[in-house]
Structure 1
Amino acid sequence: MPQPIPNGMSTISPHLVCAGAADAIDFYKKAFGAQEMARLAGPDGRLMHGCIKIEGSTVMLVDEYKEWGMQSPLTLGGTPVTVHLYVPDVDAFVARAVEAGATVTMPIQDMFWGDRYGVMKDPFGHSWSAATHLRDVSPDEIREAMKKPMGDNCQTP
């Protein structure tokens, strides 16, 4: 009997709709160091299923299929979703992504919750945040810091 969660998969995996999913796989390989796991094109050439691993986590991709109601952030004019990554060196990670074509939407900075954190948008319209955990902070310390204006909550190294 097969396992309910296949080997190598996590229980939650983002499934990104991209205008140009094959190009997105190539971008994520260059920008995020993704490892390609699968790339299956349909009869019309559009990607019906793609699978990559980024920092050990699975991300699935598919091309837009507007006829099935599957639209990318570029078609929709944005996305309310941000995919979050913890990485060993957020500064190097984001620099590599920017060099590959990502755009920083929130500069990296040390945050009151203990992470060095920033946000970027990829060329396919998806939002990504990345962080390196620097220090453990208690819930009380976080609540106290949240009372301050956001600019006062950030720390410089």
Structure 2
Amino acid sequence: MTTPPGFATVTPYMFAEDADALLAFLTDGLGGEVVDVVHRPDGCIANAQVRIGSACIMLSEASADWPAMPASYYLYVDNADASVARAVAAGGRLEMEVANMPYGDRQGGVRDRHGNIWWISQRLVDGPYS
């Protein structure tokens, strides 16, 4: 099996109305770095690749053939409190206050304006979930 450099075996691929705005949230709100963006002839995003930490996310403008579909993502960060605050400052809606969870994460939840939920988690223990 071969995957491109920087990609995982499973790579999230998002379709969104106003993909440019979601791309801005991924960078400004979640600290992502744009790797590449290809536009369609109409100027909309055909494919964007964004690196967030060690993960790559792909993104396209929704269309009749490929409609927008929100999802839920689990994002590990170094500081959950600061990361949730950053996501909210970039337009995300707080869904769950940051708190220590019984499974060893400090976690909060933010919904972006496209309906995706981001569970932003800071691992507090070194070990598996129990």
Measured against aligned partners, the alpha-carbon deviations of 1:57-108 in whole angstroms (never above 9, x if no partner) come to 1000000111x1x2224xxxxx4x3111111101100100100100111111
Matched, 1:71 2:67: yes
Measured against aligned partners, the alpha-carbon deviations of 1:104-151 in whole angstroms (never above 9, x if no partner) come to 111111011111011110112111111111125777xx5xxxxxxxxx
Structure with larger Rg:
1
Partner of 1:92: 82
Secondary structure at 2:21's aligned position in 1?
Answer: helix
Instruction: Give the counterpart letter for 1:114 in structure 2.
Output: G
Query: Unpaired segments of 5 or more residues in structure 2?
Result: none
Secondary structure at 1:132's aligned position in 2?
Answer: strand
Partner of 1:28: 26
2 CA distance for matches of 1:89 and 1:124? 24
Residue 129 (structure 1) aligned to one of 112, 119, 129: 119
Which of the two has greater helix per residue? 1
Number of residues paired by the alignment? 130
2 CA distance for matches of 1:22 and 1:112? 37
Contact 1:113–1:137 at 8 Å: present in 2 too? no
2 CA distance for matches of 1:72 and 1:39? 18
Secondary structure at 2:58's aligned position in 1?
Answer: strand
Residue 109 (structure 1) aligned to one of 99, 114, 123: 99
Shift of residue 55, structure 1, vs aligned partner: 1.6
Matched, 1:83 2:90: no
Partner of 2:108: 118
Q: Give the structure-2-normalised TM-score.
A: 0.91
Q: Give the structure-1-normalised TM-score.
A: 0.76
Query: Unpaired segments of 5 or more residues in structure 1?
Result: 74-78, 143-157
Structure showing greater relative contact order (alpha-carbon pairs closer than 8 Å, 6 or more residues apart): 2
